[in-house]
Amino acid sequence: MQSNQQVDRVLTGDRTTGKLHLGHYVGSLKNRIDMQYQYDTFILLADVQALTTHFEAPKEMGRHLRQITLDYLAAGINPEKVTIFVQSLVPEIAELTLFYSMFVTVNALRHNPTVKSEAADRGYDQLYYGFLGYPVSQAADITFCKATLVPVGDDQLPHIEQTRKIVRRFNELYAPVLLEPKAVVGEVPRLIGLDGRSKMSKSLGNAITLDASAQDVREKIRIAVTDTNRIHKSDPGNPEVCPVFTYHQAFASEGAEEIAAGCRSGTLGCVECKERVGKRINNLLEPMRETRRMYESAPHKVDEILIAGTERARNIGKETMREVREAMGLNYNFDNDGIRG
Ligand code: SF4
């Protein structure tokens, strides 16, 4: 930690493109729940960054961000401990993004792996300005609140490195007011989708959302792809190629070995195997359903949590911007303080 903050501040978040699913739970949410009592955790509801791909549907953002907040609360995020805030309601992030964009070259952004892969799919002539600038806006997300730790998977490391470069450049150019964040690199387990082809994703229709009913879970698991070479129950199966087995590993690791052995020996049928994993998943989701019902019956509570979190984030952002403007010499000291609210 490089500041007067008593504990490290963590920044993490989600683009507000839809409900969360089991892949999100395993990949990041579970880790956030574990970290919330250890760090000053900020969770960003990235509605602006959602627009980089969903700019034709801005009206959906309000619904998505409330749904995601419900998912957080249901899963065990404690709003007394964690600051959940809305990106577009903290204009200081946009302001910082703009200032950083003056000294980040287009070439540096073109080398970003996410930008590169998008450009490979669509071509640079179809790449949007906002998408190209995504790493700059991420740098603003991290630095406006002086986050010192950012949990990421390996594939996100270049984004954090870009932020660190921006911080160093800013501090050299003006004054050392920004903090260089550290990436907390953990293995980010990626849950395979029910189709067994790609990672779990709501847009691909291969996901179990965190708000799924017990019946939904059973139905979805029932039609999940298994080892396609296994025709009869007595055929030896190969759990290594079966998506259902990865769910056993993710949600019932202590029983996974027994499942694998039963599958390999042809003594455990897919129907029973799926019933077992469906039960495990429902055991995980049942307490979430209860908490969700409680918040759904008092929706104003969700809004109050978002308002309180966003106010806290804004206050910190205003203080950072005061320091940034002073460092840059953009604090013009006009008599009329009302110009900047
Ligand atoms: S028994 Fe289970 S692990 Fe084996 S193929 Fe069937 S569903 Fe997959």
- C-alpha of residue 243 to centroid of ligand 1, in Å: 8
Distance CA 95, CA 80 (A): 28
CA nearest ligand 1 atom 7, residue: 270
Domain 9-191+299-339: homologous superfamily in CATH: HUPs (3.40.50.620)
The 8 Å CB, 24+ separation contacts for 196-199 are 196/224, 196/225, 196/226, 196/242, 196/243, 197/225, 199/23
Ligand 1, closest atom to CA 270?
6
SS3 82: coil
Distance CA 167, CA 177 (A): 9
Q: What's the pLDDT at 337?
A: 57
Tell me which of 230, 233, 242 to substitute to probe ligand 1's pocket, judged by most ligand atoms within 8 Å of the beta carbon. Answer: 242
Q: What's the pLDDT at 122?
A: 78
Exposure string of 81-95, with b = 16+ CB inside 10 Å and e = fewer, is ebbbbbbbbbebbeb
Reported in sequence order, the residue ranges of the chain that DSSP labels E, i.e. its strands, are 9-15, 40-46, 83-86, 149-152, 182-185
Whether 212-294 and 9-191+299-339 are alike in CATH topology: the answer is: no
Q: What's the pLDDT at 336?
A: 61
Q: What's the pLDDT at 176?
A: 97
Q: What's the pLDDT at 152?
A: 87
Ligand 1, closest atom to CA 268?
1
- C-alpha of residue 273 to centroid of ligand 1, in Å: 6
Q: What's the pLDDT at 188?
A: 65
Report residues whose beta carbon is within 6 angstroms of any ligand 1 atom.
226-227, 230, 237, 239, 242, 244-245, 263, 268, 270, 273-274
- C-alpha of residue 250 to centroid of ligand 1, in Å: 15
Ligand 1, closest atom to CA 269?
1
Using CB atoms within 10 Å of the CB of residue 121, give its burial: 0 to 12 exposed, 13 to 18 middle, 19+ buried. exposed
Reported in sequence order, the residue ranges of 29-171 that DSSP labels E, i.e. its strands, are 40-46, 83-86, 149-152
Tell me which of 268, 277, 280 to substitute to probe ligand 1's pocket, judged by most ligand atoms within 8 Å of the beta carbon. Answer: 268
- C-alpha of residue 227 to centroid of ligand 1, in Å: 6
Tell me which of 230, 257, 275 to substitute to probe ligand 1's pocket, judged by most ligand atoms within 8 Å of the beta carbon. Answer: 230
Which DSSP symbol is given to 259? Answer: H
Q: What's the pLDDT at 340?
A: 57
- C-alpha of residue 248 to centroid of ligand 1, in Å: 10
Domain ranges for the chain, please list them. Answer: 9-191+299-339, 212-294
Ligand 1, closest atom to CA 273?
2
List, for the chain, all residue ranges whose pLDDT scores fall below the cut of 70.
Answer: 1-5, 188, 253, 336-341
- C-alpha of residue 187 to centroid of ligand 1, in Å: 25
Domain 212-294: homologous superfamily in CATH: Tyrosyl-Transfer RNA Synthetase (1.10.240.10)
